[in-house]
Structure 1
Amino acid sequence: MPKTGRPPVIATHHYPLLTRLAHTQPYSSQAELAQAFHAETGITAHPDTFAKALRLAGIVRVKERAKGSFQPPEPRKSYGYTEAHRRQLPEQRYPSCLTDAEWTLVADLFEVSGGRGVPPRHSRRTLLEACCYVVRTGCSWRMLLREFPYWDNVYKTFRRWSAQGKFEQMHDRLRAQWRERVDRDERPSAAVLDSQSTRSSPQGGESGYDAGKKVKGRKRRLIVDTLGLLLA
């Protein structure tokens, strides 16, 4: 003989009654429908059992939003990396090269007038773009592209400008220009500090040990403004 389980509290012949109650009381809660069902049939069912019966009868609750209650969110103004950063103007041979507007802003830092000696063979802008190319791509100095000046000339120029702090001055000016473009003050009033523990090789000089992250190496710290632009 086939096994028969326990008969359901709410049988299939009760589904038309559930459908009629749901249609006549469209704004009633499940508990109110259960009370109306009990008044009609005298059956008291567990809330989960009653919810299952409603689902099997094809009754689905749809929540309607009141008219005018939904306000679309305002578009968020993003200050992150956008297509404006990825653009490449005709005067830029590579994305790492400066635009004409950027070079005009920082040209006085690198151009030296009235000095003695042999006139330079390469323009200061070409040397600066070669330095930016190496820093941006991470290639070795000896693998510098041939369309740039000789790598040894670029390397010595980079060392001299780094000792003079010209790259920091250039970065400060360009950061102020970008902050002004997005309607911010040139000097930020808030900063964000974070640190990172990086592994170093035995030939990398002095190193320590970060017990929290279990990293043997060095800890470097960055300070940026609220736009993510580097401060120190």
Structure 2
Amino acid sequence: MTQDRHGGGGLKTINRGGRPAALTPQHIVLLSEIVSRMPHATLGELAAELDHLGAVQVCTATIRRTLRAQGIVRTMPKQHALGASVQPEAHAAVAKRYGYTAAHRREAGQYSTDLTDAEWRLVSDLFERPEGSRGAPARYERRRLVDACCYVLRTGCAWRLLPSSFAPWQAVYKAFVRWVAVDAFEQMQDRLRQQWRDRMGRSAEPSAAVIDAQSNRASPQGGECGYDAGKKVKGRKRHIVVDTLGLLLAVTVTAASVQDRDGAAEVVAQACRKAPTIERLYTDGAYGGQCARAIEQTHGIRVEVVRRPGNRSTGTLHDPQRSLWQEPAPGFVVLPKRWVVERTHAWNERWRRMVMHHDRKTSTSAAWVWLAEARILLSRIALGS
């Protein structure tokens, strides 16, 4: 069977006998739609998506022959000369904002990191002892202990350098370790995430997620550590999964020497246990291939690899007969569904304790991420209430 184009751009099937074609005209139309939606996908990813949507299994050689018959070719981005400058596109003028906003003028305690009354009411039951419980009364107010933890998170200071206005640093550190052991900060972030998704008009649990990893330096404190040869960083790596709003779903911390694809299994499993409604996972090229197939087989979710338009390893599928399929202009391009996880990394690094790993245990490093994300949501929800 051969495909031929005619005036209306339609497909004509000519049956010359022999073995029937692996792809019917309906499958070819579906393949063209997949290519227009995933122009940077590999042949294996196109075959997997066609199997998922069209219930037909074909090899990559059949995909290649079919695309060639339709006139769809793969183009590689041009390599700019060394030192050549790329002129950015003109952006609309945006009025600059100076001074403090209502979020900065929040009525807190002695420090700007202290929780307000509205914020404390949202999460107090996670830290206060239930009424009628046995044992000696608390020596230090739980709210002030949480404020001290937020102060360390924001300023990045050592525990011993806590201001004297807080409880003694030994008491604060002991409370922090106890809350990390019972996942108090994770529970706080989970509760606030559901409240914020409800306020945004979303369902409580997401149906799509994004995964990414980030390498950060580690202090000489000790603990698990490694060297990331790609980023030239000696320290640890944070593997996180977020929803499409950029809210944290799962986080694990490993040595920086652990590859992204090797650390994906644990963090994806954690996210699927917490949100069984996840149906699609967006990743970058580091999670493609066998890693993506393993995630799909283990958890039954679709993995979509989002690649840069200028990726010189896969290129871009291009149909010369469609004028709308033009190579994007050189320069910075926001990747769909991928930018939200990069923004979450940027949110986390605003807290100075997150810039470098100062703790020996990786569980403590992960707890700081939960506290940072929960603190952001606390400010959002309390400010709008």
1:187 paired with 2:208, answer: no
Q: Corresponding residue for 1:100?
A: 117
Q: Corresponding residue for 2:309?
A: none
The answer on whether the counterparts of 1:200 and 1:216 sit within 8 Å (CA) in structure 2 is: yes
Of Structure 1 and Structure 2, the greater strand share is in 2
| Larger relative contact order, structure 1 or 2 (CA cutoff 8 Å, min sep 6) | 2
Mapping 1:20-169, distance limit 5 Å:
86-112=103-129, 113-169=131-187
Query: Shift of the alpha carbon at 1:94?
Result: 3.1
CA distance in 2 between counterparts of 1:198 and 1:166 reads 24
Q: Secondary structure at the match of 2:245?
A: coil
Deviation per residue, 1:41-78 (Å, 9 max, x gap): xxxxxxxxxxxxxxxxxxxxxxxxxxxxxxxxxxxxxx
Query: Shift of the alpha carbon at 1:155?
Result: 0.7
Q: CA 1:96–1:218 in 2, change beyond 3 Å: closer, same or farther?
A: same
Q: Corresponding residue for 2:274?
A: none
Mapping 1:168-207, distance limit 5 Å:
168-200=186-218, 204-207=222-225
CA distance in 2 between counterparts of 1:229 and 1:107 reads 21
Q: Which structure 2 residue ranges, 5 or more long, are not aligned?
A: 1-100, 251-385
TM-score, structure 1 normalization: 0.56
Deviation per residue, 1:110-129 (Å, 9 max, x gap): 11122333322322111111
Deviation per residue, 1:61-110 (Å, 9 max, x gap): xxxxxxxxxxxxxxxxxxxxxx67x3443244433222323322222111
Q: Which amino acid aligns with 1:155?
A: Y
Q: Corresponding residue for 2:248?
A: 230
The answer on whether the counterparts of 1:195 and 1:222 sit within 8 Å (CA) in structure 2 is: yes
Q: Corresponding residue for 1:19?
A: none
The answer on whether the counterparts of 1:88 and 1:94 sit within 8 Å (CA) in structure 2 is: no
TM-score, structure 2 normalization: 0.35
Query: Shift of the alpha carbon at 1:203?
Result: 5.7
> How many residues are paired up?
151
Query: Shift of the alpha carbon at 1:158?
Result: 0.6
Q: Which structure 1 residue ranges, 5 or more long, are not aligned?
A: 1-82
CA distance in 1 between counterparts of 2:108 and 2:154 reads 18
CA distance in 1 between counterparts of 2:184 and 2:217 reads 29
Identity of aligned residues (%): 62
CA distance in 2 between counterparts of 1:202 and 1:91 reads 35
Query: Shift of the alpha carbon at 1:216?
Result: 4.2
Q: Which amino acid aligns with 1:184?
A: R
Q: Secondary structure at the match of 2:249?
A: coil
Q: Which has the larger radius of gyration?
A: 1
Q: CA 1:117–1:141 in 2, change beyond 3 Å: closer, same or farther?
A: same
The answer on whether the counterparts of 1:126 and 1:148 sit within 8 Å (CA) in structure 2 is: yes
RMSD in angstroms over aligned alpha carbons? Answer: 2.7
Q: CA 1:123–1:202 in 2, change beyond 3 Å: closer, same or farther?
A: closer
Q: Which amino acid aligns with 1:104?
A: R
